[in-house]
Structure 1
Amino acid sequence: MPSVFFLLTNCKAQNTSLSLKSKDNLNQISLSLSEDGQLSYKVTRHDKAVILDSPLGLTFENDDFTTGLSVVNVSPIEEKREKYELKVANNKIADHVFKTKSITFKNKQGALMTIDLIAGEEGVAFRYKFDNKANGSKILKNELTGFHIDQKAKGWLQPYNKAGDYTPGYEDFYVNVKSGDPISGARNESIGWCMPALFNVNDAKNWVLIAESGTDGSFPGCHLAPDSKNGMYTIAFAKNDEKFTLPLPDKGNAYPESAEPWTMPWRVIMIGDNAGNILLSTMITDLAPASKIKDVSWIQSGKAAWSWWSHPEDFTPEMYNKFTDVSASFGFKYTLFDAGWEKANKEGKIVDYALSKGVQPLVWGFSAEYFDSEKRKKRFKELAEMGIKGVKIDFWCSDRQEVMASLQGVFEDAAKEHLLVNLHGTTVPRGWHRTWPNFVTAEAILGTESYFYEPRFPEKAAEQNTVLPFTRNVAGPADYTPFALTFRKYTRLNTSVHELAMAMIYTSGIIHFADSEEVFNSLPNELKNLLKEMPATWDKTEAIVAEPGKSIVLSRKKDNLSYIIGINGTNTSLPVFIDLTKYGKGYSKFRIISEGKDPLMDFKVETHPIDAKWKYNMAPKGGFIIEFVK
């Protein structure tokens, strides 16, 4: 009888400790077990639910952790500080303190599963972990993890496209939905929702961004299942048919598979009282492994001229050299040679020409050429010996586990040759730019190339541009290829300043400008100087206005440069009120770039004294750039 009493009191004590609060006591994640041993959790901020009761658990091919679970051990709460510098960032230094604990559960067969919890000022996260050293590998058939969002909540979600020639590639519109709404408005047939997924919850008092971090070669990239009945969003794995562009085997089912010990990716729930908190969060990189590159001095952010957008069918040496000249004249560090560059280099030695101009060449490549480890290493070595500085590797179009493993190999092998990496046609980053700082940007975004391909893009682009900084760009650097003034197949509706501002709204380790030599050379001198001085990463960023789908205004600082950049995502003019004295300390005046006589093509530049009660009306689909002047 005494032993039974001990067990009951011990279980009671442990059950009361299945929760974790952040150091500031605002964010909390709480686990609970039902009478039949089913595991669930909820997340609160200010003691108000932001994630309602949601399931946890895993089903393996030969093991089950969904029912009959009991608590074996609860670790002491520990404090962990993550302080590090990012090569590509809104804020150069990340410095956060987390509370952590681990809870170990036993299933009916006596097998053990640990869940790591972490809570900080920017949100909470959890992950599954198996510390056994068993023979063979485990195959995971299902992850029960859910995120129950109150049905009164609204959000911005991107459809996860079914496998095709160029999908999944995270290149769809973010759709404004109510929690639990079915998929609609997708560009292609879709089988779920992408992460990151943004919600405005708790009677619109909080914002939540659901994401992943720390995905490596032991797990596929995940998305959210299409059935979100009653607001319950659940984890879904990459599909077997995501193999159109890569030499992947047909597995029937592409389940996650790994030997033990096995630590799975973090399920990240970022929380903010306003959307600006989400935009500036570094929680995804906080949870990713620390940099694996000791000497990062060779990794430098910068800007690049790029011929493809304005001349998509001209692969001549003369065209590549013309854009190298643009980079040289504007002081850009890089020039990007896209598809077809190899032939042009044989004919005209375009790489040598760029190097002779003091411009570092970046080159395009097809994913299948970099998938095999030995071929990849050989190719990287060849490129480095040619004097090439980075690679844009295109058409991955898969979240399968083999692809996640290959990407880690790409980052590592490229780093050994001091090569930068830009991924296109790819999955969304998952904190990898902390672990591998040479990973400087990625597509996984519906960018300016859509003026060629998507008839709905002109009408929706401005709105999307005010959503993506709070979703896609939080996950990692985004290669939007901004500044597209020339009209393409689908005519642009955003103003000229809106397009220019995109180069400063998005965060990308390399900014690839998308227009012609003629456009660059036609700009007023003040804009030419802006392009020459504009940084590609930032020391400090503040969100002044943060309204996803409506407008965004950022304060950006780098060294002695200081800017305020705003864009309007709506079809009506929007007033902006800013105390410029707060952001312009040490400066005597400010220069503002706004729309000129023809809002679609022209710019107006004016200089004014710094005003404590500055007011400005942003044009429909317009914007502005303020540059503080000494």
Structure 2
Amino acid sequence: MKKIASVLLVTGVSVLGAACSQKAPETLASPDGNLSVKVFVTEQNTLAYSVDRAAQPVLLPSDLGLQLTAADFTQGVAIESRSAITPVSDEYSLRVGKKSKIHYSANEQTFSILNAQQQKLILTFRVSDDGVAFRYAVNDPSIKRKEFVKETTSFQLPETARAWLQPMSVSQTGWSNTNPSYEEHYQMDIPVGTPSTLGAGWAFPALFNNGDNWILLSEVGVNRDWHASRLHHESPKGEYQIATPQAPEIYIAPNGEKGALLANSNGDLISPWRILAIGDLPRIMESTLGTDVAEPAIALDKNIIQPGHSSWSWAILKDDFTTFEVQKKFIDYAAEMHWDYTLIDADWDKKIGMEKLKELVEYAAQKNIGILVWYNSSGSWNETPYSPKSELLTHEQRQAVFAQLKAIGVKGLKIDFFAGDGQSMMAYYHDIMADAAAHGLLLNFHGATLPRGWQRTYPNLMTMESIKGFEFTTFTQENQDPVAAHVVMSLFARNVFDPMDYTPMAFGDIPNIKRVTENSFELAEAVLMISGIQHFAEIPEGMATAPEYVKAFLQELPREWDEVKFIDGFPGKYAVIARRAGEVWYVAGINAEKENKTLNLDLGFIGDKTGIVIASGDSERSFIQQEINSKTPYTITLRPSAGFVMALK
């Protein structure tokens, strides 16, 4: 437990002098006064903070600190000064998210931290009504080269708290050495302090609960100079520490030169924002903190940014069907469904070729369908065989590839198989996003890290996988069986802040797999999951089994959302979420529990609207449709692994 210093203890650090202000903790509160943060120096002369909500502890005293090769701010520190508390206000728009127009309001305070060598660290805290954000900055000109050694930031949960966490996978494991890709099942409702099952840490976002307080912990705005972080695999007595990537998680240049693993800069070194969305479940689920503190959007032609729905053959048909005729069929399918894109997956360069791809692009354009194409990001950091491979490694390569794709009318790329979270790999992501934006191309990253708010900064970033997605449920029954709980869990963590390319929805059979979800559950995923481009897994033959009213629902389903309202749910068990697009409200719910779930839904917040509900019929694969109105409370009973959708106009 960290102890607050009541007086300045200067033994061994007297060089700090009398100018350093070492007062008892002052409180930085949210605009509504409900959340409060205290930043202080402990009796051990280390930096710490604590967080309360409604005068109840959310985080007990927890560590702060940063160590560089040329400066140590983890011990022997003092608070030189605290800025005045100032309001922060921001208005911004998102094309990819759960809200289109967002207002962010917070109170901010900056702390100047001195170490024994009189070197300076800047610590900034922001407290909004829905959470806390903080970050470090080192801009001291006396520190010429800034190289990261360690970060002592921790999050001390009460020992009574529970956790919902995704283990980080061990680097260079998995198929063709492609881990880590944020593709593990969540460990749900476990005691805090439980070690990570794989020994490589816990992924962001991390969800915790203690009594009335829910905490969704993540980071936002990883710049090209920093690495992406995670939580340490051990958290004794509920103290979770920031951890770094594993050694192989780096970019390797075509000439074999290895990039840096950890943060470094010759200029200012600025960490990501550490964020904690705090409150009840509705507050967590409706929070936009994950983009509120992200860097504003780069300059980009707004006409380029076109969220949409896409057909995609590979999810169910796999490698052998990436052929000219099959892709032409999927373009026709997208047009029939009034969708926007068709994604042509791996090895298209070998099985279709650039000239025939141009034909497909031209054919698709006649039907108002855009073409997306797959690329392999990797050089020598994994053993993936799929191509086009190693064609995006340098700026010069990207300029050539992106210019050629743009010239023939391709709308965007799905880029797969990144190496992990090292600093050089983060710089690689930034380079790709910036170069693609300059060529007016949309992006979807797979086998990838967590977006961490990049979709705000680079509006051409439509989505990222970073989840054990639908494809895994087609590989083995072992991954199919827990899919309902996994999908519900992803809505409460992975998909709260960032777009998620889970690639949902199948109504028909999956080869060699017994599908465990009802068709109504699959349909509900289309509303519940946020992705700038929603790549639907279903193929034409499966869609043909659905009633016309289900097809009509999918044909009219919005590509963008203006508002969100969390109605009911619990992580890993069930979820009911409402989304508004224009004047129309869509409501969807799914049940992952082993028993029937009866939901009593008050839709009065929608106003006076009428519409339809689509739910399960008598069998797992059937649907029923009924008329409803928002003024009358609605009761529905969902079977296990079943769901529903509503549209109210």
Q: Distance in 2 between matches of 1:617 and 1:246?
A: 56
For residues 89-100 of structure 1, the aligned pairs below 5 Å read 89-100=97-108
For residues 142-153 of structure 1, the aligned pairs below 5 Å read 142-153=150-161
Partner of 1:564: 587
Partner of 1:200: 209
Q: Is 1:503 matched with 2:526?
A: yes
Partner of 2:570: 547
Q: Is 1:518 matched with 2:527?
A: no
Cα pair 2:564 2:580 within 8 Å, conserved: yes
Q: Is 1:228 matched with 2:228?
A: no
Partner of 1:300: 306
Partner of 1:366: 376
Choose the corresponding residue for 2:45, options 17, 37, 58: 37
Q: Is 1:448 matched with 2:456?
A: no
Cα pair 1:241 1:250 within 8 Å, conserved: no
Choose the corresponding residue for 1:85, options 85, 88, 93: 93
What SS class does the counterpart of residue 398 from structure 1 fall into?
coil
Task: State the Cα deviation string for residues 410-434 of structure 1 (Å, max 9, x = none).
Answer: 1111111111110000000111111
Change (3 A) 1:546 1:276: farther
Cα pair 1:42 1:54 within 8 Å, conserved: yes
What SS class does the counterpart of residue 407 from structure 1 fall into?
helix
> Which residues of structure 1 form unaligned runs of 5+?
none
Q: Distance in 2 between matches of 1:9 and 1:46?
A: 35
Please report how far the alpha carbon of residue 83 of structure 1 lies from its aligned counterpart in structure 2 after TM superposition. 1.1
Report the residue type matching 1:209 in the other structure. Answer: L
Cα pair 1:539 1:558 within 8 Å, conserved: yes
Cα pair 1:363 1:390 within 8 Å, conserved: yes
Please report how far the alpha carbon of residue 244 of structure 1 lies from its aligned counterpart in structure 2 after TM superposition. 9.0
Cα pair 1:245 1:397 within 8 Å, conserved: no
Q: Is 1:20 matched with 2:28?
A: yes
What SS class does the counterpart of residue 541 from structure 1 fall into?
strand
Partner of 2:6: none
Cα pair 1:240 1:251 within 8 Å, conserved: no
Q: Distance in 2 between matches of 1:249 and 1:71?
A: 44
Change (3 A) 1:107 1:391: same
31-40 or 21-30, which deviates more:
31-40
Partner of 2:76: 68
Partner of 1:409: 431
Q: Distance in 2 between matches of 1:426 and 1:478?
A: 11
Choose the corresponding residue for 1:615, options 635, 642, 646: 635
Q: Is 1:320 matched with 2:350?
A: no
Report the residue type matching 1:362 in the other structure. Answer: L
Task: State the Cα deviation string for residues 189-239 of structure 1 (Å, max 9, x = none).
Answer: 4411001100012xx201101100110111011011111111111111112
291-300 or 466-475, which deviates more:
291-300
For residues 584-595 of structure 1, the aligned pairs below 5 Å read 585-587=607-609, 589-595=610-616
For residues 284-433 of structure 1, the aligned pairs below 5 Å read 284-312=290-318, 313-342=320-349, 343-345=351-353, 346-347=355-356, 349-368=359-378, 369-433=391-455
243-252 or 125-134, which deviates more:
243-252
Please report how far the alpha carbon of residue 605 of structure 1 lies from its aligned counterpart in structure 2 after TM superposition. 1.8
Partner of 1:575: 598
Please report how far the alpha carbon of residue 532 of structure 1 lies from its aligned counterpart in structure 2 after TM superposition. 0.6
Please report how far the alpha carbon of residue 305 of structure 1 lies from its aligned counterpart in structure 2 after TM superposition. 0.5
Partner of 1:179: 192
Cα pair 1:239 1:253 within 8 Å, conserved: no
Q: Distance in 2 between matches of 1:510 and 1:476?
A: 13
What SS class does the counterpart of residue 161 from structure 1 fall into?
coil
Please report how far the alpha carbon of residue 298 of structure 1 lies from its aligned counterpart in structure 2 after TM superposition. 2.4
Please report how far the alpha carbon of residue 311 of structure 1 lies from its aligned counterpart in structure 2 after TM superposition. 1.4
Report the residue type matching 1:125 in the other structure. Answer: A
Q: Is 1:439 matched with 2:461?
A: yes
What SS class does the counterpart of residue 402 from structure 1 fall into?
helix
Q: Distance in 2 between matches of 1:134 and 1:74?
A: 21
Choose the corresponding residue for 1:170, options 174, 182, 203: 182
Choose the corresponding residue for 2:617, options 566, 587, 596: 596
Change (3 A) 1:460 1:247: farther
Please report how far the alpha carbon of residue 606 of structure 1 lies from its aligned counterpart in structure 2 after TM superposition. 2.2
Please report how far the alpha carbon of residue 582 of structure 1 lies from its aligned counterpart in structure 2 after TM superposition. 3.5
Q: Is 1:475 matched with 2:485?
A: no
Q: Distance in 2 between matches of 1:243 and 1:111?
A: 30
TM-score calculated relative to the size of structure 2: 0.91
Please report how far the alpha carbon of residue 380 of structure 1 lies from its aligned counterpart in structure 2 after TM superposition. 1.0
> Which residues of structure 2 form unaligned runs of 5+?
1-9, 11-15, 379-390
Change (3 A) 1:596 1:138: same
Change (3 A) 1:625 1:27: same
Please report how far the alpha carbon of residue 74 of structure 1 lies from its aligned counterpart in structure 2 after TM superposition. 1.2
Q: Distance in 2 between matches of 1:82 and 1:371?
A: 36
Partner of 1:464: 486
Q: Distance in 1 between matches of 2:448 and 2:158?
A: 31
Partner of 1:191: 200
Q: Distance in 2 between matches of 1:314 and 1:547?
A: 39
Aligned residues: 613
Q: Distance in 1 between matches of 2:595 and 2:281?
A: 21
Report the residue type matching 2:94 in the other structure. Answer: L
Task: State the Cα deviation string for residues 552-585 of structure 1 (Å, max 9, x = none).
Answer: 11111112322211001111111111123442x3
Q: Distance in 1 between matches of 2:106 and 2:249?
A: 36
Report the residue type matching 1:307 in the other structure. Answer: S
Cα pair 1:344 1:350 within 8 Å, conserved: no
Q: Distance in 2 between matches of 1:151 and 1:440?
A: 39
What SS class does the counterpart of residue 306 from structure 2 fall into?
coil
Change (3 A) 1:360 1:294: closer
Please report how far the alpha carbon of residue 250 of structure 1 lies from its aligned counterpart in structure 2 after TM superposition. 7.7
Report the residue type matching 2:340 in the other structure. Answer: K
Q: Is 1:261 matched with 2:274?
A: no
Change (3 A) 1:89 1:371: same
Q: Distance in 2 between matches of 1:592 and 1:533?
A: 14
What SS class does the counterpart of residue 29 from structure 1 fall into?
strand
What SS class does the counterpart of residue 309 from structure 1 fall into?
helix
Q: Distance in 1 between matches of 2:69 and 2:257?
A: 19
Change (3 A) 1:246 1:548: farther
Report the residue type matching 1:195 in the other structure. Answer: F
Q: Distance in 2 between matches of 1:509 and 1:149?
A: 34
Task: State the Cα deviation string for residues 108-150 of structure 1 (Å, max 9, x = none).
Answer: 1111111011110111111111122357422111100001111
Please report how far the alpha carbon of residue 610 of structure 1 lies from its aligned counterpart in structure 2 after TM superposition. 5.0
Cα pair 1:362 1:390 within 8 Å, conserved: yes
Cα pair 2:372 2:414 within 8 Å, conserved: yes
Report the residue type matching 1:500 in the other structure. Answer: L
Q: Is 1:210 matched with 2:192?
A: no
Q: Distance in 2 between matches of 1:135 and 1:141?
A: 14
Q: Distance in 2 between matches of 1:456 and 1:58?
A: 42
TM-score calculated relative to the size of structure 1: 0.93
